[in-house]
C-alpha cells in the first residue's frame, strides 16, 4: 500500500527490526531480564527434579536386581533414604546393597540440595532487589 513502510522486506535475508535495539526502554530491558531469570529458574528446578527422579528409578531397579526385593520394598527403601527419614533397612542389605544405598544418598541429597539452592537464589534475588530499591522491581 502506498504510504506505509514495507516491514516485510523480502529483498534481503535479514528481517527488518521494527524497534531498534538502542531505542528499547529500560522497562522492556528489565522485563526481558526478568523473563530470562524465570526461565533459568524453571530450567534448574526441572533439571534437579529430573535428576532426583532418575536417581530414584535407578535405585529402585537396583534394589530389585541386587537384593531381589519387591517393587514396593524397593520404593519404600528409596523413599526413606531420599527423605533422610532413616527408619532402617526394609531387609538386611548385602555389601552391594550398602554401596547402592551410599550412592543413593550422595546423588539424591545432592539433587535435592541443588534444587534448594536454586529456590533460595531466586527468592533472595527478588528480596534483595526489593530491599535495594531497584527501580525495575515490581510487585
Round to whole Å and give the CA distance between 82 and 137.
37
Q: Which of residues 31 and 77 earns the better pLDDT score?
A: 77
- What integer pLDDT is reported at residue 111 of this predicted model? 92
- What integer pLDDT is reported at residue 125 of this predicted model? 77
Q: Which of residues 83 and 132 earns the better pLDDT score?
A: 83
DSSP states of 106-117: HHHHHHHHHHHH
Cell numbers found for residue 51:
535428576
Domains contained in the chain, CATH given: 29-132 (1.10.287.70)
For 89-114, b where at least 16 C-beta lie within 10 A, e where not — what string? Answer: ebeebeeebeebbeebeebbbebbeb
C-alpha closest to that of 109 among 134, 86, 138: 86
Round to whole Å and give the CA distance between 20 and 13.
17
Residues 114, 43 contacting (CB under 8 angstroms):
no
Percent of the chain predicted with pLDDT > 70: 73
- What integer pLDDT is reported at residue 61 of this predicted model? 97
Q: Long-range contacts for 39-47 (Cβ within 8 Å, ≥24 apart)?
A: 41/118, 41/122, 44/114, 44/115, 44/118, 45/115, 45/118, 45/119, 47/114
- Looking at the predicted structure, is the pLDDT value of residue 15 above 90? no
Q: Which of residues 88 and 75 earns the better pLDDT score?
A: 75
Predicted TM-score (pTM) of the model is 0.67
- Looking at the predicted structure, is the pLDDT value of residue 124 above 70? yes
Amino acid at each position: 500500500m502506498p504510504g506505509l513502510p514495507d516491514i516485510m522486506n523480502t529483498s534481503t535475508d535479514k528481517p527488518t527490526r521494527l524497534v531498534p535495539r538502542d531505542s528499547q526502554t529500560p522497562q522492556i530491558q528489565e522485563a526481558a531480564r526478568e523473563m530470562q531469570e524465570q526461565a533459568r529458574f524453571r530450567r534448574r528446578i526441572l533439571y534437579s527434579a529430573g535428576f532426583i527422579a532418575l536417581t530414584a528409578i535407578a535405585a529402585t531397579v537396583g534394589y530389585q536386581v541386587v537384593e531381589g526385593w519387591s517393587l514396593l520394598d524397593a520404593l519404600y527403601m528409596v523413599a526413606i533414604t531420599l527423605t533422610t527419614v532413616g527408619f532402617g533397612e526394609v531387609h538386611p542389605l548385602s555389601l552391594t546393597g550398602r554401596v547402592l544405598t551410599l550412592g543413593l544418598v550422595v546423588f539424591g541429597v545432592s539433587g535435592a540440595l541443588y534444587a534448594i539452592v536454586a529456590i533460595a537464589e531466586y527468592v533472595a534475588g527478588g528480596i534483595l532487589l526489593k530491599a535495594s530499591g531497584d527501580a525495575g522491581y515490581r510487585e
